[in-house]
């Protein structure tokens, strides 16, 4: 089996490849896309970091490729959808650099607070700006953590060790779990109002792009300091610049930018800003850890058919996968849907298998549903291998049960989500061999194909309600490709599922929600 390492990788990882019988290693770093495309067809595995871009064109040329392993967390440089289509497993190494990244956030906070970069520059210029560079203590200051995942929880513990008051906001983790860990759970607005320092540890997604914008800065304490070692784009950089210029924000420490490298950036002209070139995971220990993990993953996959930390395939082997595939697909769609229609931090997930299922371990189906549920709000590291353990770390209780009585269906999967705000029940089934359908949401019975741009509308069951929605969508040139209406059991409401050719913008959603007979509308992607 031939393995190509196309980015600089820790020596410990290379030694594992070199010492493994049955593995032939080539290390070729700094390849252009055309050079990589020309040779990639020779290899069974590709080990990368962040420099190599594994595009659709590269994957089309990778005729023998079986696995891609990223020595690190982020997979922004891999076309995962295309890799899945090509049957290429994509793996990352989520645990190797969490401590390193959390430590970098704390280091950035300390350097910013005590003006260490400016002081160093001043000294090298022969100056002694002692009064000009006066800092402040962090002891007893309030440290606001946005995102309590693996990295955020470590940063919170480090700050607590520095005798800081730590408050945490994470809409996807229960307040009980955060408080059990020894921290105060607050709303986002409360975090803004209380924090002397705000540090970001959330993934970059639609819901978090420009999370810290002008409106958010206006809610913060005067003199707040902001640290971002997560992803560029979560902070609106223009709004941050204005907030620093106005004095609202006393300083910012940035390891990431919307565009990297940022070039001549306005923020880099400000004395109140310190920056590093995306060094959060750049320590010797972290690079050794991820290199070793990536090498072991590739060897396990190529030589033993063992899947470790794959983000696009479940942890099952070929023959079993064929039997479970329709149910894995259905569970993934149900988990993804639940994540988008359910509000509040998830406390419990109950998965019931009712009726006739393959006489196999159903755990991969449960994992598939949990994986897609968590993938909507957890950064990169959630996959088929660690989904359950990650849910446990988040304080989510998971239960499974089986029953032979399926009622109106040959087989039925019921996923019940309990949050701090609501309980949602979703039921799905397989028609024929592999046609997935959603057949129930809470009290409503219906039949929905779980794919595309979807909208869920609760409305009063009176004449004219559907027509008014269609008129509004037509006015905005949004075409309805499919519609399904379900009536509440013994109720006065309908639930309408719409599939549209294009996504429905938020302003159109607001306009529909203002219609007389509409109660609320939720849009989501499957």
Supply the pTM of this predicted model: 0.68
Q: Are residues 34 and 91 in the same domain?
A: yes
Residues ≥6 apart with Cβ < 8 Å to 86: 59, 60, 62, 65
- The predicted-structure confidence for 402-444, as pLDDT tens digits, reads as follows 988 767 888 899 999 999 888 999 999 998 888 999 988 888 8
Gap between the Cα atoms of 418 and 254, Å rounded: 36
Q: Which is catalytic among the residues 49, 177, 201, 231?
A: 231
Q: Is 82 a catalytic residue?
A: no
Q: How big is the CA angle at 459 (ends 455 and 463), to the nearest 5 degrees? A: 120
Query: Is 447 among the domain residues?
Result: no
Nearest residue to 426 (alpha-carbon basis) of 406, 445, 399: 445
Q: Are residues 118 and 213 in the same domain?
A: yes
Q: Which is catalytic among the residues 215, 260, 285, 447?
A: 260
Q: Are residues 106 and 250 in the same domain?
A: yes
- Inter-axis angle of helices 11-18 and 284-304, nearest 10: 20
Contact (Cβ atoms closer than 8 angstroms) between residue 439 and residue 427: yes
Structural domain range at position 186: 98-275
Q: Are residues 88 and 122 in the same domain?
A: no
**Predicted local confidence at residue 59, as pLDDT:** 95
Residues ≥6 apart with Cβ < 8 Å to 371: 332, 335, 382, 383, 384, 387
- The predicted-structure confidence for 227-262, as pLDDT tens digits, reads as follows 999 989 999 999 999 999 999 999 999 999 999 899
Q: Is 514 a catalytic residue?
A: no
Contact (Cβ atoms closer than 8 angstroms) between residue 223 and residue 251: no
Q: Which is catalytic among the residues 278, 414, 440, 499?
A: 278
Query: Is 124 among the domain residues?
Result: yes
Q: Across the 526 residues of the chain, what is the mean pLDDT of every consecutive 10-residue run?
A: 94 95 95 96 95 94 94 85 82 84 96 94 92 92 94 95 97 90 96 98 88 97 96 95 97 95 94 94 87 93 83 67 85 92 89 87 88 77 69 88 81 92 91 88 84 88 83 91 76 82 91 88 87
- The predicted-structure confidence for 480-525, as pLDDT tens digits, reads as follows 988 888 776 656 778 888 899 999 998 999 999 888 888 888 888 8
Strands 444-448 and 89-91: what pairing?
Answer: unpaired
Identify the domain boundary among 442, 476, 497.
Answer: 442
Q: Is 260 a catalytic residue?
A: yes
* Residue 72 region by backbone torsions, left for phi larger than 0, else alpha for psi between -120 and 50, else beta: left
Gap between the Cα atoms of 138 and 107, Å rounded: 12
**Predicted local confidence at residue 317, as pLDDT:** 58
Query: Is 127 among the domain residues?
Result: yes
Nearest residue to 380 (alpha-carbon basis) of 314, 312, 330, 321: 312
**Predicted local confidence at residue 406, as pLDDT:** 62
Query: Is 518 among the domain residues?
Result: yes
Q: Are residues 13 and 141 in the same domain?
A: no
Query: Is 252 among the domain residues?
Result: yes
**Predicted local confidence at residue 315, as pLDDT:** 59
Residues ≥6 apart with Cβ < 8 Å to 292: 10, 12, 13, 16
């Amino acid at each position: 089996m031939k393995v190509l390492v196309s980015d600089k990788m820790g020596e410990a990882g290379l030694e594992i490849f070199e010492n493994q019988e049955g593995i032939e290693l080539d290390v070729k770093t700094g390849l252009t896309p055309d050079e990589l495309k020309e040779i990639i067809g020779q290899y069974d595995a590709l080990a990368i970091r962040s420099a190599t871009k594994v595009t659709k064109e590269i994957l089309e040329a990778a005729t023998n490729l079986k696995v891609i392993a990223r020595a690190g967390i982020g997979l922004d440089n891999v076309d995962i959808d295309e890799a899945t289509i090509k049957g290429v497993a994509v793996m990352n190494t989520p645990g190797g650099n969490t401590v390193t990244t959390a430590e970098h956030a704390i280091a950035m906070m300390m350097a910013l607070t005590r003006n260490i970069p400016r002081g160093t520059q001043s000294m090298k210029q022969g100056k002694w700006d002692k009064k000009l560079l006066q800092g402040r203590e962090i002891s007893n200051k309030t440290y606001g953590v946005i995102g309590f995942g693996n990295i955020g929880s470590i940063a919170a513990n480090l700050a607590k060790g520095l005798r800081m008051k730590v408050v945490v906001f994470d809409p996807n983790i229960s307040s009980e779990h955060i408080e059990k860990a020894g921290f105060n759970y607050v709303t986002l607005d409360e975090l803004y109002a209380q924090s002397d320092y705000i540090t970001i540890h959330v993934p970059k997604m639609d819901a978090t792009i420009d999370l810290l914008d002008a409106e958010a800065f206006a809610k913060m304490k005067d003199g707040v300091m902001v640290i971002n070692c997560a992803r560029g784009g979560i902070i609106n950089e223009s709004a941050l610049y204005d907030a620093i210029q106005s004095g609202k924000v006393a300083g910012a420490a940035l390891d990431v930018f919307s565009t990297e490298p940022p070039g001549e950036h306005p923020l880099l002209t400000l004395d109140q800003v310190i920056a590093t070139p995306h060094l959060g995971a750049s320590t010797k220990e972290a690079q050794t850890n991820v290199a070793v993990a990536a090498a072991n993953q590739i060897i396990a996959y190529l030589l033993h058919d063992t899947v470790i930390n794959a983000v696009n395939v479940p942890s099952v082997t070929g023959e079993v996968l064929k039997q479970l595939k329709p149910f894995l697909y259905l569970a993934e769609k149900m988990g993804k849907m639940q994540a988008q229609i359910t509000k509040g931090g998830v406390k419990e997930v109950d998965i019931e298998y009712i009726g006739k299922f393959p006489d196999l371990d159903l755990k991969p189906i449960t994992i598939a549903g949990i994986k897609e549920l968590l993938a909507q709000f957890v950064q990169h590291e959630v996959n088929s291998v660690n989904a359950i353990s990650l849910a446990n770390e988040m304080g989510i209780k998971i239960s499974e049960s089986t029953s032979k009585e399926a009622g109106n269906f040959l087989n039925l999967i019921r996923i019940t989500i309990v949050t701090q705000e609501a309980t949602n029940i979703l039921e799905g089934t397989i028609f024929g061999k592999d046609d997935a359908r959603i057949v129930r949401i809470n009290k409503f019975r219906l039949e929905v194909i779980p794919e595309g741009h979807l909208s869920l509308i609760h409305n009063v069951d009176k004449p004219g309600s559907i027509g008014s929605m269609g008129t509004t969508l037509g006015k905005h040139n949004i075409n309805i490709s499919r519609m399904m209406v379900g009536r509440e059991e013994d109720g006065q409401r309908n639930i309408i599922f719409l599939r549209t050719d294009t996504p429905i913008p938020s302003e159109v959603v607001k306009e529909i929600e203002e219609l007389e007979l509409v109660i609320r509308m939720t849009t989501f992607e499957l």
